[in-house]
Amino acid sequence: MTQISDDGFWQNIDGEWMPTQKQLEALENGAIPHESNEMANPNLESNADHLFQFQPSMHGKNPTGTQEYITFLGYVLIGFGVLDFLISFTGTDITFFLGFFSTLTPILFWILGGFLISKGEELPWFEVERFSESDKAKAIYAGTLLAALFILFLLIGLANLSNNLDDDLIGTWTNPVDELSLESNGDVDESTDTFNKWYIEYGNLILEEDDYYYTFKYQVVDDILFLAPIDNDDSVLKEECIAYLKGDAGKTNSAYNDRIEDAESNGDFPSWCQPE
């Protein structure tokens, strides 16, 4: 009678231990013998656990091409963050819709990009062939770059649309008692430190002071900026109209008065600007 070991891998035929069909099938499925080929006693189940070692399955492990692509995505995100940072110096915030967090987006892009570069082989999202070996892979890389550029230009366009500023107002304006600088990013630098933000709404100039805002009717005539406050009932306070000259030209009384008198005599004053 044939004797079978407890693990089912060996059978005793005529006093000699031979591999069973179970062992042969295990070998075909990738099992390899333990480093030690000796088997002290096939009847001992404790030896069975060490008899075979199975090769780890490659299922779920990223192909080299996928690792390359994920690394490429990481560099794209880092590049996106660099462009976001550089574009912000022009006064354009491409992630304006995130509010306060928009100031942190370059750092977030860098962190996410670095994560993909360092952990790419652990992220089995999909399979991509190697760039150097496949035209399809080259198309995927090119499509990724084009998509990133499209998103970048789209965000720039949306940011500019949301940035309701009048280019004619950007710059420094002065009169003998005040200096008003309207920045391209919506910031205000004023000698009296009254206002800190500006934008255009319904054709009027809005100047913000922390939690408060003031509405002004405005008009730029050559190098003169006319401003008149708008009351709560939407009426223009003509008598409180003030004027600024472009740049530093209005800092001195003589230069300012000469230019304002010249504008008044030429009929350049708006009808709603009638200072007392």
Reported as a single tens digit per residue, the pLDDT across 210-227 is 778 899 999 999 999 999
- pLDDT recorded at residue 124: 63
Among 111, 144, 162, the domain boundary falls at 162
158, two tokens: 């949306």
Question: Could you give the maximum distance between any two Cα atoms of the chain, in Å?
Answer: 128
- pLDDT recorded at residue 33: 62
The model carries a pTM of: 0.45
Answer whether residue 181 is part of any domain: yes
Answer whether residue 212 is part of any domain: yes
Provide the pLDDT confidence category of residue 63 given band limits of 50, 70 and 90.
Answer: low
Answer whether residue 27 is part of any domain: yes
Q: Mean pLDDT highest for which of 44-48, 190-194, 259-263?
A: 259-263
Answer whether residue 273 is part of any domain: no
Query: What does the alpha-carbon distance between residue 221 and residue 180 come to, in Å, rounded to a whole number?
Result: 17
Answer whether residue 275 is part of any domain: no
Is pLDDT at 239 greater than 80 in this prediction? yes
Provide the pLDDT confidence category of residue 97 given band limits of 50, 70 and 90.
Answer: low
86 Cβ neighbours under 8 A, 6+ residues apart = none
Answer whether residue 206 is part of any domain: yes
Phi, psi of 234 (to 5 degrees): 70, 15
Answer whether residue 276 is part of any domain: no
Is pLDDT at 44 greater than 60 in this prediction? no
78 Cβ neighbours under 8 A, 6+ residues apart = 109, 110, 113, 114
Residue 45 burial by Cβ neighbours in a 10 Å radius (0-12, 13-18, 19+): exposed
Task: Count how many domains the chain has.
Answer: 3
Tell me what the mean pLDDT of segment 177-205 comes to. Answer: 89
**Cβ atoms of residues 78 and 121 within 8 Å:** no
With pLDDT > 70 as the criterion, what percentage of the chain qualifies? 79
Among 162, 183, 208, the domain boundary falls at 162
List the domain range (segments joined by +) for residue 198.
Answer: 167-265
User: Is 157 found in the same domain as 68?
Assistant: yes
User: Is 146 found in the same domain as 226?
Assistant: no
User: Is 212 found in the same domain as 158?
Assistant: no
